[in-house]
Amino acid sequence: MSEPVVTGTGPVSARRLAATTLVAFAIAAAIVVAFVLPAEYGRDPLGTGRALGLTRIASPPPPASPEPPATEYRVDATQFVLGPYEFVEYKYRLDAGAVMLYTWSATATVIHEFHGDPDTNPDAPVSFEKKDRRQASAAFTAPFAGIHGWYWENPGAEPVTITLTSAGFYRSAVELRSDRTRREHELRAPAGSAAPPK
């Protein structure tokens, strides 16, 4: 009767166990450095993350912000009567780079300032012109998004009428009075233009 065949190599020596552990640790470290660091943390010391496209996982591109709707070309004509020592502010909402043409005149010299209030810091108005005058005409390109317009004050004892006509790519208009009233003005498309789709 033959002896049974014994398979296996017997107990593992401490030296072999240590060597196997070191090899497993080295493989795990290589996987971490080559794949995990680029994919999870955006660190790519070996260049494998860039080659395999793993760095994009760690820092995906920011979602594209929706484009703001294009501002339509509009026209506006309005008139203000200022009693003695009254003032009015009239401002349009313009995007950065939006263009506006305007002309205004007054029946007497008024205290006048043309300025803008940035959306990013509404409490820090930017003055473009400050001068007592009776009229002005210009083309204006908004340097920042915000409301842009005029301050007119009647410094005399007689009423003054101010007439303003403008055209441009503004979104809305608001009137602010010395009595603290606020009124939105309706803007219109130029005569003959098609109505915007709904």
pLDDT reading at 153 higher than 70: yes
Residues 113, 150 within the same domain: yes
- Residue 193 included in any domain: no
Residues 116, 167 within the same domain: yes
- Residue 128 included in any domain: yes
Q: What is the pLDDT of residues 118-149, one digit of tens each?
A: 999 988 999 999 999 999 999 999 999 999 99
- Residue 151 included in any domain: yes
Q: Which domain holds residue 128?
A: 74-185
Buried b (16+ CB within 10 A) or exposed e, 114-146: bbbbbeeeeeebeeeeeeeeeebeeebebebbb
- Residue 91 included in any domain: yes
Residues 92, 149 within the same domain: yes
Q: Which residue has the higher pLDDT, 51 or 79?
A: 79
Please name the residues in contact with 34: beta carbons below 8 A apart, sequence gap of 6 or more: 46, 48, 49
Whole-angstrom distance, CA of residue 148 vs CA of residue 138:
13
Residues 97, 144 within the same domain: yes
Residues 24, 107 within the same domain: no
Lowest mean pLDDT of 13-22, 31-40, 93-102, name the range.
Answer: 31-40
Residues 51, 132 within the same domain: no
Residues 47, 84 within the same domain: no
Residues 136, 163 within the same domain: yes
Query: Tokens 């552990």 map to which residue?
Result: 21
Buried b (16+ CB within 10 A) or exposed e, 35-44: eebbbeeeeb
Number of domains in the chain: 2
Contact 113, 150 (CB under 8 A): yes
Considering Cα of 124, then 102, then 111, then 178, what sign does the dihedral take? negative
pLDDT reading at 66 higher than 90: no
pLDDT reading at 197 higher than 50: no
| Amino acid at residue number 111 | I
Residues 25, 121 within the same domain: no
Residues 78, 32 within the same domain: no
- Residue 63 included in any domain: no
Residues 101, 169 within the same domain: yes
- Residue 197 included in any domain: no
Where residue 180 sits, what CATH number does that domain have?
2.60.120.680
Contact 195, 79 (CB under 8 A): no
Residues 91, 30 within the same domain: no
- Residue 8 included in any domain: no
